């Protein structure tokens, strides 16, 4: 069964940092691009970042997180990461990882709360 499991969310102060992980199983992780998407409470979906199957080749960020967030992957560990620095109140959201260009499937999400 194809599965994505996010972890690493929690409560963090404004200006703080957090590292999210996404553990993949049930498919050849190294063959797929991956993305991070978030959803603020009661709001819609916002794409954050994309990384190609070969992590050094292509990476994209949404303007809202460029310079603060860093996407990476470890194909040997079947894992995707999102390093989040300089966190703001407006970064409070459920963060999802998703597979491939079609975003199929999605993980269950991990909640990040930025608050003093």
Partner 1 sequence: QSVLTQPPSASGTPGQRVTISCSGSSSNIGSNTVNWYQQLPGTAPKLLIYDDNQRPSGVPDRFSGSKSGTSASLAISGLQSEDEADYYCAAWDDSLNGRVFGGGTKLTVL
Going by DSSP bridges, is the β-strand pair 34-39/59-61 parallel, antiparallel, or unpaired?
unpaired
Contacts of 13 (CB under 8 A, 6+ apart): 87, 114, 115, 116
SS3 content of the chain, % helix, strand, coil (to 5): 10, 50, 45
Report the site for partner 1 in 58-87 (rule: CB under 8 A).
60-63
Stretch that binds partner 1, among 7-15, 42-50, 67-75, 80-88 (CB under 8 A): 42-50
Q: By CB under 8 A, tell whether 107 contacts partner 1.
A: yes
Stretch that binds partner 1, among 14-22, 24-32, 74-82, 97-105 (CB under 8 A): 97-105
Shortest CB 8 distance to partner 1, Å: 16
Shortest CB 45 distance to partner 1, Å: 5
Residue 38: burial class (beta carbons within 10 Å; 0-12, 13-18, 19+): buried
Q: By CB under 8 A, tell whether 96 contacts partner 1.
A: yes
Q: By CB under 8 A, tell whether 28 contacts partner 1.
A: no
């Amino acid at each position: 069964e194809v599965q994505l499991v996010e972890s690493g969310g929690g409560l963090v102060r404004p200006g703080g940092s957090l590292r999210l992980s996404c553990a993949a199983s049930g498919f050849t992780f190294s063959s797929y691009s991956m993305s991070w998407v978030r959803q603020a409470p009661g709001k819609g979906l916002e794409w954050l970042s994309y990384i190609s199957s070969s992590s050094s080749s292509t990476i994209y960020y949404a303007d809202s997180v460029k310079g603060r967030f860093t996407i990476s992957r470890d194909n040997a560990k079947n894992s995707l990461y999102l390093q989040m620095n300089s966190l703001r109140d407006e970064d409070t959201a459920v963060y999802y990882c998703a597979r491939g260009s079609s975003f199929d499937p999605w993980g269950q999400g991990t909640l990040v709360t930025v608050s003093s």
